[in-house]
Every structure is written in structure tokens, then in C-alpha cells.
């Protein structure tokens, strides 16, 4: 695990965006794993600037990490909508090349299997972008998730629902379930870049980087990843020894 500590959240976004840009220039048909939430927004905004200067992402295929179950595709907080507004439209990915797990499927287990198959058919994920939850989750693999897990239906932890209530009008509107890539799926990415900003992430970051590898901190599984970069601002790094 490579740890990069930078002064500000904006520096984190810029650093990770440059890394993505370098990988796309080296491989225009990159298969890109996409996180949602607050952590990656500066990456996507930086990349929009690179696209305006000529970076071409039209050959890139994207796979979101996760999706809520039970909210409509047009809900502003559905990850299908977030990926469209933060990635597909500003960065010029082809809409058909940006997939999100189908959290509205009648058969969610089949939707999860289909998603795994689609990732495999694309040749696997070259570069996975990740954030980390305050409870140590990556994707929505909550504490106690199996290291071997694949894309599946998960119950969101109370801590995650509380953390994500800021995106919803009413905390009761935060979905209770999701489809998420598994830890096994994430571990198979050829490169993983996790970004974290702010003191609220410091404890989870320390557990992920310096703690024992434990299902109680799912992010710690990245200690087994052959090529993982963790990009932090000083506040997120503040609990590292």
C-alpha cells in the first residue's frame, strides 16, 4: 500500500485525477471502477478540466461500486443519476459504457450476478477509485463483510445510513439496502486508488492502513491488494502514527 499525504482536499483530488489521466492516456479503453459520495467529486471535477483541455474518455468503460436498492433511477441520490451527472455528462463517457448495479431489479441476486459477469466480460477493472466510510467500509461492504464477497445485496449499517443522511431531505429516506461490489471483486482490480479527506475519516484510515487486516475494518483488505494507493489530506492522515 502506497500512502500519499497532501496538504488539502483539493490537492487530493488533483493528485488522483492526474493518476487517472495518466492511466487513460496509456490505455484509452481503460476499465474504470467508479466511487460515488463526496470523496471522489474533486477527482471528477479535475478530470472535467482535463477533458476540456483535450483528454478523451470516450473509450473508457465505467463500473460504479454500488447502488441503493429501492430508490428510483431519477432520484437525485440514486447512484445511476450521480454517475450520469458527475461522470458521464461532464467527462464524455458513452452512457452505454457506464454501468451501475440495478438496484431496482425484481431479482436483485440475478442483477448482482449480471453485474459481476459484465465486469468479467469487460476484462476486469483496471483502475478502481474508492472512498472509505467512517466505519471502514469500502464500496458498501460493511464491517463483517467477507473478504471473498462478490457483488451482492447488503444491508447498510446504521452508521452509514446516519453518515449519508446529509444527502437526503429526511434521514428516514436513506435506503436500508444496496447492491455493492464485493471485497473479492475490489481486490481483483489491477490498481486501486482510495481517497479520503477530513478528520472524520482519520480513525477509519488509521485502522485500514495500520490496523490488523480484519473484517471489522473492510478497507484493511487493501493491505492484500498488489497495487493500492491511498491519497489523504493531512486531516484524514492525522491518526496515522
Task: Give contact residues for ligand F6R (rule: CB under 6 A).
Answer: 35-39, 65-66, 131-133, 137-140
Toward ligand F6R, which CB reaches closer, 63 or 140? 140
CB of 78 to ligand F6R, least distance (A): 12
Q: What is the rounded distance in angstroms from the CA atom of residue 225 to the CA atom of residue 80?
A: 27
Q: What is the rounded distance in angstroms from the CA atom of residue 135 to the CA atom of residue 206?
A: 11
Toward ligand F6R, which CB reaches closer, 12 or 19? 12
Contact at 8 Å (CB) between 230 and 194? yes
- Which H or E run includes 31? strand 31-34
Toward ligand F6R, which CB reaches closer, 138 or 208? 138
Toward ligand F6R, which CB reaches closer, 58 or 206? 206
CB of 54 to ligand F6R, least distance (A): 28
Q: How far is CA 225 from CA 11, 71, 132, 194, in A?
A: 24, 33, 15, 12
Contact at 8 Å (CB) between 7 and 234? yes
Q: If you search the block for the grid coordinates 475519516, which residue do you land on? A: 201
CB of 141 to ligand F6R, least distance (A): 8
Active site residues: 66, 135, 137, 142
CB of 70 to ligand F6R, least distance (A): 17
Nearest CA to 58 among 21, 22, 88, 20?
A: 88
Residues paired with residue 5 on neighbouring β-strands, in sequence order:
232
Contact at 8 Å (CB) between 197 and 228? no
Distance from CA of residue 211 to its chain's centroid? 21
Amino acid at each position: 500500500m502506497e500512502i500519499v499525504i497532501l496538504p488539502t482536499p483539493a490537492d487530493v483530488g488533483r493528485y488522483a485525477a492526474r493518476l487517472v489521466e495518466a492511466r487513460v492516456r496509456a490505455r484509452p479503453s481503460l476499465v474504470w471502477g467508479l466511487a460515488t459520495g463526496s470523496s471522489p467529486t474533486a477527482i471528477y471535477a479535475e478530470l472535467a478540466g482535463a477533458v476540456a483541455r483535450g483528454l478523451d474518455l470516450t473509450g473508457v468503460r465505467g463500473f460504479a461500486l454500488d447502488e441503493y436498492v429501492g430508490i428510483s433511477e431519477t432520484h437525485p441520490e440514486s447512484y445511476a443519476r450521480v454517475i450520469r451527472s458527475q461522470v458521464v455528462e461532464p467527462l464524455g463517457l458513452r452512457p452505454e459504457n457506464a454501468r451501475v448495479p440495478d438496484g431496482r431489479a425484481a431479482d436483485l441476486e440475478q442483477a448482482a450476478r449480471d453485474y459481476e459477469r459484465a465486469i468479467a466480460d469487460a476484462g476486469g477493472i483496471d483502475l478502481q477509485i474508492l472512498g472509505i466510510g467512517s466505519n471502514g467500509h469500502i464500496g458498501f461492504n460493511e464491517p463483517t463483510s467477507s473478504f471473498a464477497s462478490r457483488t451482492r445485496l447488503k444491508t447498510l449499517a446504521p452508521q452509514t445510513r446516519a453518515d449519508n443522511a446529509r444527502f437526503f431531505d429526511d434521514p428516514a429516506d436513506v435506503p436500508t439496502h444496496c447492491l455493492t461490489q464485493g471485497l473479492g471483486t475490489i481486490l481483483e482490480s489491477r490498481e486501486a486508488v482510495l481517497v479520503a479527506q477530513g478528520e472524520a475519516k482519520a480513525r477509519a484510515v488509521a485502522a485500514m492502513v495500520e490496523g490488523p487486516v480484519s473484517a471489522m475494518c473492510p478497507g484493511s483488505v487493501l493491505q492484500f491488494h498488489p497495487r493500492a494507493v491511498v491519497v489523504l489530506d493531512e486531516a484524514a492522515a492525522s491518526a496515522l502514527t
